[in-house]
Structure 1
Amino acid sequence: MPAKKDPQTRLIDAAMDLAAAGRWHDVTMIDIAQSAGIDIGVAFDHFKSKADILRQFVRRIDRIVLADLDPADFNEPGHDRLIAVMMARFDALAPYRPALRSIVASGGDLGPADTLRAIKTHFGSMRWMLDASGFTTGGLHGSLRVAGMGTIYARCFKQWLVDETADFGPTMAALDRALARGSEWDKRIGTGISRLSRACGKIQKKCDRFAQKCRRADHAEQTSPSAENNSTVP
């Protein structure tokens, strides 16, 4: 006998089923709880809104992709690893494509605050996908890299939603082209940030030398004979 799913999993599954069966905009939290066979109060303890469910669904996909990583793939070039990771993500999403079409058609049914949280979740996922592909994501360069990956994924996601091929070949081709273009921009940004960092370092050194000269001048003025004579004047 299969293990019984936990309430959170059942609620997410019910939400995806209802989204696939109709308009996501029309689905309520009450509908989801009833479809999952879970008391409404228990549902409230797990999720406060449909947006909460969507964020947890995204994290579920993150876990599926990351858990299936093959350490041997880390020896592959970064571009190839990233394509493999992102296509694995689309494979993980494939069973939910009808639901995702409904959710996208409704704009996720998100309010302003939920939209901001969704963006944060989206970029958090992209950071993990890049990390899993061997790319650094720290600092200014890393943040720009995450933002770029988020844009590429969003565009390829739209392509994937209408891609009816068995292997998602057109989606993979679009991803390959986008990542190739993104790689060129990534190199330019990296070069620009390095130059900016060197320039800032030179400016900082000049400022430090100027500050040191000022301190020496102040010290010399304070210890000069005229300063000592002035200090004795009543």
Structure 2
Amino acid sequence: MDMPPHPDAPLIEALFRVIAAHGWRGVTVTRLAAASGVPAGELVGRFPSRLGLLRLFGDVVTDEVARGTVPGQGGTPRDRLFDVLMRGLDALAPYKAGLRRLMTEMYTDPVLFGAMAPVFQHSMERMLDAAELDSAGPKGRLRAAGLAVVWIRAVNVWSKDESEELGPTMAALDRALERAEQAARSFGLVGGDLAAAPPDEAATPA
């Protein structure tokens, strides 16, 4: 059964319009209420900290990816990750201008970067799940952390990519996945894959 669109997607679109115009530090209850139509009192009640908005953003994006996920996709783990991450970038399209500014600010604001880190981690665990890859346990967390690096690199390129076919973005994502697989080998993941196969499957000759 298809998942319905996230009910807070319009609120997140409003958030990123505010970020595009005023930056992360310019996100105020007054501005967000005016942009979203959600009463200021409701916003304060739901989001005592702005960081809650970032967590909601991660859920809105990964819910959209989950809506488009078909079980039993087949293909290699890398192919499935590539497909899931590209669909994730498609889900970011309504927020592109604001994301461009947010990503720029993230690299100069360690507090913001620290706030985004758990959002990336949780989102990448859900991306792994959507790609039918294991996100559980220490190795799953390690895969999600590696995938977060891939995701950040891809989003950085995507946020500046104005091409219709997103060729530069796809090339950057492919390179980032390749580097992640090389790093995975150094951490002892099976076959250097971000999504190590179960031991019995990994031992099966190709």
| TM-score calculated relative to the size of structure 1 | 0.69
Distance 1:111 1:40 in 2: 28
1:155 corresponds in structure 2 to 153
Paired position in structure 1 for 2:138 = 140
Change in CA separation of 1:27 and 1:67 when aligned onto 2, cut-off 3 Å: same
2:3 alignment counterpart: none
Paired position in structure 2 for 1:180: 178
Aligned counterparts of 1:58 and 1:128: Cα–Cα separation in 2: 10
Distance 1:185 1:23 in 2: 34
Greater Cα radius of gyration, structure 1 or 2: 1
- Report the Cα offset of residue 182 of structure 1: 2.0
Q: Any runs of at least 4 consecutive aligned residues in structure 1 with deviations exceeding 6 A, and if so which?
A: 108-111
Q: CA deviation at 1:51?
A: 2.4
Following TM superposition, by how much is the alpha carbon of 1:72 offset from its aligned partner in structure 2, in angstroms?
A: 4.5
Name the SS for the 1:84 alignment partner.
helix
How far, CA to CA, are the matches of 2:157 and 2:57 in structure 1?
20
Asked if the contact 2:61–2:92 (Cα under 8 Å) also holds between the matched residues in 1, the reply is yes
**Which amino acid in the other structure matches residue 162 of structure 2?**
E
Q: 1:32 Cα shift?
A: 0.8
- Superposed CA deviations along residues 117-158 of structure 1, whole A, max 9, x for unmatched, are 431121011111112212222333222211111111111211
CA distance 1:131–1:125, shift in 2 (3 Å): same
Give the gaps of 5 or more residues in structure 1: 1-5, 193-234
User: Which position in structure 2 is the counterpart of 1:14?
Assistant: 14
Kindly report which structure 2 residues correspond to 1:27-176, keeping only aligned pairs within 5 A, or say none: 27-73=27-73, 75-107=74-106, 112=111, 115-176=113-174
- Of residues 126-135 and 55-64 in structure 1, the stretch that sits farther from structure 2 once superposed is 126-135
Paired residues, number:
186
SS of aligned partner of 2:176: helix
Q: Report the Cα offset of residue 84 of structure 1.
A: 0.3
Q: Distance in 2 between matches of 1:22 and 1:183?
A: 38
Q: 1:91, 1:17 → 2: CA distance?
A: 17
Q: Could you tell me how far apart the structure 1 residues matched to 2:155 and 2:189 are? A: 29
Contact 1:130-1:136 at 8 Å conserved across structures:
yes
Alignment map for 1:194-233 (pairs within 5 Å): none
Cα RMSD, aligned residues only: 2.8
Unaligned runs of 5+ in 2: 1-5, 191-206
Report the 3-state secondary structure (helix = DSSP H, G, I; strand = E; otherwise coil) of the residue aligned with 1:121: helix
Amino acid at match of 1:16: F
The answer as to whether partners of 1:7 and 1:38 remain within 8 angstroms in 2 is: no
Q: Distance in 2 between matches of 1:109 and 1:8?
A: 28
- For each residue in 1:15-49, what CA deviation from the matched residue of structure 2 results, as whole angstroms up to 9, or x when unmatched? 22222334343231221113323332122112123
Q: What is the CA-CA distance between 1:178 and the residue it aligns to?
A: 1.9
